[in-house]
Chain A
Amino acid sequence: MHELALMEGMVQGIQEEALRQGFSRVHQVRLEVGRLAGVEVEALRFAFGPATEGTVCEGATLEILEVPGRGRCQACGREVGIQARFDLCPLCGEGFVALTSGTEMRVKDLDVD
């Protein structure tokens, strides 16, 4: 349950960005979260409210774009989608999959004024 800490860190980063880029209110935050990032999307949503209280993000909507897990099988070399981080390749069943996406957790952009 480190989702609250993640949201608090995110809001801090956005506050700093607000000073740098000169905006005072955030209307929407878009977040990319990989399905294999080890965080619960619902818990992020739940934590967003308390984490934004009294900040430039208060009252903003949170959009979460989920990114599926993908990678290259180390045995057969094919590009595959995987459901869990340490699953074997779903095509050949032999190799581990070196991830190319699915573990990201980043703020993509903000709608501000």
Chain B
Amino acid sequence: MCTTCGCGGGEPKLDGQPHAHAHAHDHGPPRPGRRRVSLEQNLLAKNDALAALNRQAFAERGILALNLVSSPGSGKTTLLEQTILLLKGRVPVVVIEGDQQTSQDADRIRAAGAPAVQVNTGKGCHLDAHMVGHALESLAPAAGSVLMIENVGNLVCPAAFDLGEAHKVVILSVTEGEDKPLKYPDMFAAADLMLLNKVDLLPHLRFDVDRCLGYARRVNPGIRILHVSAQTGAGMEAWLAWIEAGRREALAARAMAQA
């Protein structure tokens, strides 16, 4: 067996076959004058450490943080606007908006009545814990707030980056394919709640709801699913109740920690 990478003896087999291994890497010891440093460092370690700090800051202030993820065009921003309007006077909501370019979404959110910070990721395809940490500094949400983080529209990359949120909420609109949960399983596996949005359009579409929900549960048997239309308001009360329950939990956990 190779003593540096462990291949060559008892290594995992793929479907009973030895795995293809090009052995392009150097199996020998490091060259004279060099030494080998063992790291075992996860590539996401840096992000995960910053996410843990965000999570701690949320816990100390009893803030419920939600990470909203979806493809572009699923109706995330409209859903957020309506959520803010409906929660007005019930729950303080603050928003971090992630987009590659423009501050149009943050402008829409502020017009709906919630403080918002726009993060432009430039070439980046996702928000990371570092960006959220800095956005928090300028937002300074009050204790007991609900923080909605609208991630960059992308069903791939945001799945990997923990922001410190309590839950990922994946939004899928019925104008998309019903097989999205199978095509982008990581995101649906990472989410605790799925909002099936734009359900008011169902009569005009050939979208098989049962098949879609079956796919979502296949990759994530425990996922909660709510049917909503941000446009007509259908199903919004259940979504608001889910948010308020989460907020009560965050406040109760804070009270317990302080007791």
Contacts and interface: CB of A to CB of B under 8 A. Distances in A.
Contacts, number: 122
A2 B5 contact: no
A49 interface: no
A17 B14 contact: no
B43 A113 contact: no
Interface residues of B, number: 47
B138 interface: no
Contacts of A92: none
A63 B24 contact: yes
Interface in A57-71: 63, 65-70
The interface size bin for chain A is 35 or more
A81 B42 contact: no
Secondary structure dominating the interface of B: loop
Contacts of B41: 10, 13-14, 17, 106-107
B186 A81 contact: no
A9 B33 contact: no
A107 B15 contact: no
B161 interface: yes
B201 interface: no
A42 interface: no
Interface of A: 1-2, 4-6, 9-10, 12-14, 17, 21, 23, 27-28, 30-31, 38, 63, 65-70, 80-81, 83, 85-86, 90, 96, 101, 104-113
